[in-house]
């Protein structure tokens, strides 16, 4: 069993605040590393402490700007391996490119697999991530991958506020039913499904609500908010089907394009998100957003990996 002083946690620029909270949970100081740019835009990394023989965790979401933060992570991995770290784990709270996980038409790449290959080729020994957009991405890696579910964080908040009373959990599409069902079961509340058709990318049309939402406070559960078009249309449909109130609970607040305007002009009363991606100042100032930290969840997973303990038992409901 490795002593705690052999554990070091470093951060890229996408996850500074989250890494500080993770380190506080684990009980160590954040690792010292420079992650900056040269004048031509190339990324510069220098680890400023001894890590030979140590168990190193590198935290960086591949969030917008996705390519820049991905390169930060790859270069951090290379630096740690060349500094003779005993083991290097990439902690990726938000895994970018996850929506490009299959060939849905001819002559398109499977970019999520390419990114997995790049991370593996950089020399990382294992990966820790949260709420992948598609579970099959775990199989894109030929190294150990621990996939954390943020549901336990959001469920604890529901219990804390007693919001599970007269609540129904909503799956925003058929693909998210499995996760929504588990979340509803954890809370002991019913499940409903929004049936929709997507005529083209980033455009969705709500068709129907399957399940009883009349007179209920409903919570839409999804892994991310991008433009928020799907989310606000689902919220409007749920109100039309008789929901008393509509909240959203999403792990990754990408919030691109018109997302903030869409949410501001929606029927959503509250949007619960995690800190896998830092909110912009404009989003952070919006009272509809409430941020729940993933730090205790990720920190405990890091501690267990370091101590060679079970990570999956974090999610036991018994």
> How many Cβ atoms are within 10 Å of 51's Cβ, its own excluded?
21
Helix axes 111-121, 66-82, angle to 10 degrees: 20
Measure the CA–CA gap between 175 and 286, rounded to whole angstroms. 29
Measure the CA–CA gap between 209 and 194, rounded to whole angstroms. 5
113, 196, 216, 233: which is the annotated catalytic residue? 196
196 is catalytic: yes
The phi, psi pair for 253, rounded to 5°, reads -85, 80
DSSP codes of every residue in 185-234:
HHHT--EEEEEEEEEETTEEEEEEEES--TT-EEEEEEEEESS-HHHHHH
Measure the CA–CA gap between 216 and 164, rounded to whole angstroms. 10
CB-based burial label for 67 (10 Å; 0-12, 13-18, 19+): exposed
Catalytic residues: 196
């Amino acid at each position: 069993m490795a002593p705690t002083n052999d554990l070091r946690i470093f951060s890229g620029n996408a996850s500074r605040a989250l890494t500080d909270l993770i380190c506080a949970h684990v009980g160590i100081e954040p690792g010292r590393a420079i992650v900056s740019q040269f004048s031509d835009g190339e990324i510069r990394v220098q680890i400023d402490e001894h890590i030979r023989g140590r168990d190193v965790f590198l935290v960086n979401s591949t969030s917008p700007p996705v390519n820049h933060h991905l390169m930060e992570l790859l270069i951090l991995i290379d630096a740690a391996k060349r500094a003779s770290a005993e083991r290097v784990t990439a902690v990726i709270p938000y895994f970018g490119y996850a929506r490009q996980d299959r060939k849905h038409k001819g002559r398109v790449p499977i970019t999520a697999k390419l990114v997995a290959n790049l991370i593996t080729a950089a020399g990382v020994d294992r990966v820790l991530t949260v709420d992948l957009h598609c579970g099959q991405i775990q199989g894109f890696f030929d190294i150990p991958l621990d996939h954390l579910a943020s549901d336990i964080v959001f469920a604890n908040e529901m219990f804390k506020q007693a919001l599970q009373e007269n609540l129904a959990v909503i799956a925003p599409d058929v693909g998210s039913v499995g996760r929504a069902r588990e979340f509803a079961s954890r809370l002991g509340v019913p499940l409903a499904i929004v049936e929709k058709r997507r005529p083209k990318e980033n455009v969705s049309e709500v068709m129907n609500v399957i399940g009883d939402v009349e007179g209920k406070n409903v919570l839409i559960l999804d892994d991310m908010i991008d433009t928020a078009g799907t989310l606000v249309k689902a919220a409007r449909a749920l109100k039309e089907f008789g929901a008393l109130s509509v909240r959203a609970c999403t792990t990754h607040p990408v919030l691109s394009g018109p997302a903030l305007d869409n949410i501001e002009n929606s029927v959503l009363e509250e949007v619960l998100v995690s800190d896998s991606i830092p909110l912009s100042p404009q989003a952070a100032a919006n009272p509809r957003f409430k941020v729940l930290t993933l730090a205790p969840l990720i920190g405990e997973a890091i501690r267990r990996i370091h101590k060679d303990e079970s990570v999956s038992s974090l999610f036991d409901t018994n």
